[in-house]
Amino acid sequence: MTDLNLEHWWQPFTNVRAFQKNPRIFTRAEGSFLFREDGGDVLDITAGLWCCNIGHARKEVADAVHAQLMELDYAPPFQFGTPPAFQFASRLMEHTPEGINRIFFTNSGSEAVDTALKIAHLYQFARGKGSKTRFISREQGYHGVNVGGTSMQGLPTNRHGFPVLNEVDFLPGMLDISRNAFSRGCPEHGTERMAEAFEHIVALRGADSICAVIIEPISGAGGMVPPPRGYLQKVRELCDKHDILLIFDEVITGFGRTGSAFAATEFGVTPDIMTSAKAINGGTVPMGGVFVKDSIQQTIFDHTPETVPEFFHGNTYAGTPVAAAAGLAALDIYESEGLFTCASGAKGEHWANTLHAMKDLPSVIDIRNYGLLGAVSFDPGEAPAKSLGPKIHQRCYENGLLCRAVGDHMVMSPPLSITESEIGLFAERFRKSVLEVL
Ligand code: PLP
Cβ pair 419, 411 in contact under 8 A: no
At 426, the pLDDT band (50, 70, 90 cuts) reads very high
Query: Pick from 98, 397, 68, 133: which is nearest to 272 by CA?
Result: 98
Please identify, by atom number, the ligand 1 atom nearest to the C-alpha of residue 111: 16
Question: Distance between CA 236 and CA 271 in Å, rounded?
Answer: 7
At 2, the pLDDT band (50, 70, 90 cuts) reads confident
Cβ pair 403, 418 in contact under 8 A: no
Mean pLDDT of 192-204: 98
Cβ pair 217, 263 in contact under 8 A: yes
Task: Identify any residues that bridge with 374 across adjacent strands, giving them in sequence order.
Answer: 369, 412
Burial of 201 (0-12, 13-18, 19+ CB in 10 A): buried
User: pLDDT, tens digit, for every residue of 287-301?
Assistant: 999 999 999 999 999
At 432, the pLDDT band (50, 70, 90 cuts) reads very high
Query: Given ligand 1 and candidates 278, 290, 413, which is best to mutate, with the most ligand atoms within 8 Å of its CB?
Result: 278
What is the reported pLDDT for 23?
96
Query: Pick from 105, 144, 367, 95: which is nearest to 254 by CA?
Result: 95
Question: Distance between CA 366 and CA 358 in Å, rounded?
Answer: 10
Q: Is 433 in the pocket of ligand 1 (CB under 6 A)?
A: no
User: pLDDT, tens digit, for every residue of 108-150?
Assistant: 999 999 999 999 999 999 999 999 999 999 999 999 999 999 9
Q: Is 221 in the pocket of ligand 1 (CB under 6 A)?
A: yes
Beta strand 134-138 with 168-171: parallel, antiparallel or unpaired? parallel
Percent of the chain with pLDDT over 70: 99
What is the reported pLDDT for 387?
77
Burial of 423 (0-12, 13-18, 19+ CB in 10 A): buried
Q: Is 142 in the pocket of ligand 1 (CB under 6 A)?
A: yes
pLDDT of residue 348 exceeding 80: yes
pLDDT of residue 384 exceeding 70: no
Phi, psi dihedral angles at 294 (to 5 degrees): -55, -40
Name all domains of the chain by residue range, CATH numbers in brackets: 16-53+340-437 (3.90.1150.10), 73-334 (3.40.640.10)
- Sign of the dihedral through C-alpha 110, 115, 118, 119: negative
Query: Given ligand 1 and candidates 53, 105, 111, 113, which is best to mutate, with the most ligand atoms within 8 Å of its CB?
Result: 113
- Each as own residue / partner, the long-range contacts of residues 150-155 (CB below 8 Å, 24 or more positions apart, any chain) are 152/113, 152/117, 152/214, 154/222, 155/221, 155/222
Q: Is 143 in the pocket of ligand 1 (CB under 6 A)?
A: yes
Identity of residue 137: S
Q: Is 251 in the pocket of ligand 1 (CB under 6 A)?
A: yes
What DSSP assignment string belongs to 127-153? TT-TT--EEEEETT----SSHHHHHH-
- Sign of the dihedral through C-alpha 306, 309, 312, 318: positive
Mean pLDDT of 201-217: 98
Question: Distance between CA 147 and CA 164 in Å, rounded?
Answer: 6
Q: Is 110 in the pocket of ligand 1 (CB under 6 A)?
A: yes
What is the reported pLDDT for 385?
52
What is the reported pLDDT for 391?
92
Question: Distance between CA 57 and CA 283 in Å, rounded?
Answer: 10
Cβ pair 170, 137 in contact under 8 A: yes
Q: Is 215 in the pocket of ligand 1 (CB under 6 A)?
A: no
Q: Is 252 in the pocket of ligand 1 (CB under 6 A)?
A: yes
Going from the Cα of 128 to the center of ligand 1, the distance in angstroms, rounded, reads 31
- Between CA 256 and CA 52, with CA 117 as vertex, the angle to 5 degrees is 25
Nearest CA to ligand 1 atom 13: 109
SS3 category, 225? strand
What ipTM score was computed for the predicted complex, to two decimals?
0.99
The model scores a pTM over 0.95: yes
